[in-house]
Structure 1
Amino acid sequence: MLTAFTAGLSIITVSELGDKTFFIAMFLAMQHSRRLVFTAVSAALAAMTILSVGLGQVASLLPASFVYHAKIGLFLGFGLKLIYDASKMPVVANCDQVLSEAKEAVVKAEAQLGEKNALGIWLEGFLLTFIAEWGDRTQLATISLAIDNNPFGLTSGAVLGHAICAAIAVTCGKMLCGRISERQLTFIGGFLFIVFGIIAVFEKS
């Protein structure tokens, strides 16, 4: 359980920092109550984590040989893709551009929702985050880890990792944005996936 907790916490924290949902939370916190935005974003990410762990547990019911090779392929393939993506990113982080994209998504959602009361703002943060997280690298990472890790340990670690990133985004995201490069974080995430893939190769009983 501790191994699953550590894996979930490390992968999610590294992958979520500088992610699209990170910037959505950052922009929302500039416009609305930080506490309200934090609870909405954290709830959405927790819901997505539970769903992803459930999908991983379902996948674990497939034939053992298939699961073994699929898990290795997912980790190594995703790790190499992240490293490739990072190599194509500019060395100098352009936070304003990414934040502008998040602003565009928020403005579009607000035009559709209309309401500006606390519940409307909370639902906006929840739905924007949940939709942005669907099919994202952190969701795929959680599904992959859930195939053969303790679901409770993984869920708690991943939820904590998401909450840490959400807290950073709503409190000091703008300040941190210029100091931590998305390129560096993507490289680290890619290497972490490759490490998990290599470990998975030697885990077969």
Structure 2
Amino acid sequence: MFSAALLSLGVVFLAELGDKSQLMTMTYALRHRWWVVLSGVGIAAFLVHGLSVLIGHFLGLTLPERPIAFAAAIAFLLFAAWTWRDSRSGNDDDAAPVVEPRFVIFAVISSFVLAELGDKTMLATVALASDNDWAGVWIGATIGMVLADGVAIIVGRMLHRRLPERFLHQMASVLFLLFGLWLLFENALKWHVMALTSTGIVAVAAIAAASVSIARARRARREAPARREPSPQPTTPGAGYPGVRD
């Protein structure tokens, strides 16, 4: 149960970074009290992930282990492609409009439930619950979503200044890819060496690519002031000043 909770917490937390739910959380938090917004997010996460865990748990009980592992691996690989496509598109969904302040917690719950139904995070929770302890997945997924949206409330502005949204989506895509490869080779095909090799290669390549990207961004920021051309200065007395003839 503890390992399932940690696994689900990590998957959901990284999957929610840069997602529309974080943008919605920041929008709500700018207009309402943080604890009201976070309470609504927690209730919505509890409901959504409870439903997905229920579906995944009963699917896991009625289907054999290896077909479930194949299905979960394909699902995670699709999530990786889906998230990577989102990172390339750069289109952001607008947050739902806020209703009257006295009903704000119901607005938060309803908008988050509608936004997360059928989302890749819910589908990932279904896949996790099909092969892990259902209670641990439920607890971990709920906590992961609350923590991710809590980060959006506390340091959301700083995060989006230093790490572009595209980079955050790419991190989530790499995580989905790693879990998909592990489920495919370790749980479905029982190829232990291939599971370690493939996930290790992808992890090292992702770390290297992220390091190069961060280094380039820092170098570009340092070189940006030097590229600015100085404003022209008058070369003769009175040149460039209104009312004074050369």
Match of 1:116 among 101, 105, 108: 101
Distance in 1 of aligned mates of 2:92 and 2:157:
11
- TM-superposed CA distance for 1:20, in Å, is 1.1
Structure-to-structure mapping, 1:30-41, within 5 angstroms: 30-41=30-41
* Superposed displacement of residue 62, structure 1: 3.4
Task: Let me know the Cα RMSD of the aligned residues.
Answer: 2.0
TM-score of the aligned structures, taking structure 2 as reference length:
0.70
Which of residues 119, 128, 132 is equivalent to 1:145?
128
CA distance in 2 between counterparts of 1:43 and 1:20 reads 18
How many percent identity over aligned positions? Answer: 30
Give 2:115's aligned residue.
132
Deviation at 1:5, TM superposition (A): 1.6
Is residue 2:149 matched to residue 1:166? Answer: yes
Aligned with 2:97 (options 94, 98, 106): 106
Counterpart check, 1:3 vs 2:16: no
Structure 1 residues 98 and 175, CA gap change in structure 2 (3 angstroms)? farther
Shift of 1:125: 0.9
8 Å CA contact retained: 2:69, 2:187: no
Q: Deviations over 1:42-81 (max 9, x none)?
A: 1111211111111111221333143232112111222233
Alpha-carbon distance, 1:178 to partner? 2.1
Q: How far apart are the structure 2 equivalents of 1:168 and 1:78?
A: 23
| Equivalent pair of 1:46/1:162 in contact (CA under 8 Å) | no
Query: Which structure has the highest helix share of the two?
Result: 1
Structure 2 unaligned runs (5+)? 191-246
Contact kept, 8 Å, 1:82 with 1:187, in 2: the verdict is yes
1:45-64 equivalences in 2 (<5 Å)? 45-64=45-64
> 3-state SS of the aligned residue for 1:203?
helix
Deviates more, 1:168-177 or 1:50-59: 168-177
Larger mean Cα displacement after TM superposition, 43-52 or 1-10: 1-10
Q: Which of the two has higher C-alpha Rg?
A: 2
Distance in 2 separating the partners of 1:135 and 1:19? 14
Distance in 2 of aligned mates of 1:81 and 1:171: 28
Larger displacement relative to structure 2 (74-83 or 124-133): 74-83
Task: Give, in angstroms, the shift of residue 164 of structure 1.
Answer: 0.9
CA distance in 1, matches of 2:19, 2:42: 14
Greater relative contact order (Cα < 8 A, sep 6+): 1
Aligned equivalent of 1:94: none
Aligned residues: 187
**Structure 1 residue aligned with 2:187:** 203
Counterparts of 1:21 and 1:66 in 2: how far apart (Å)? 32
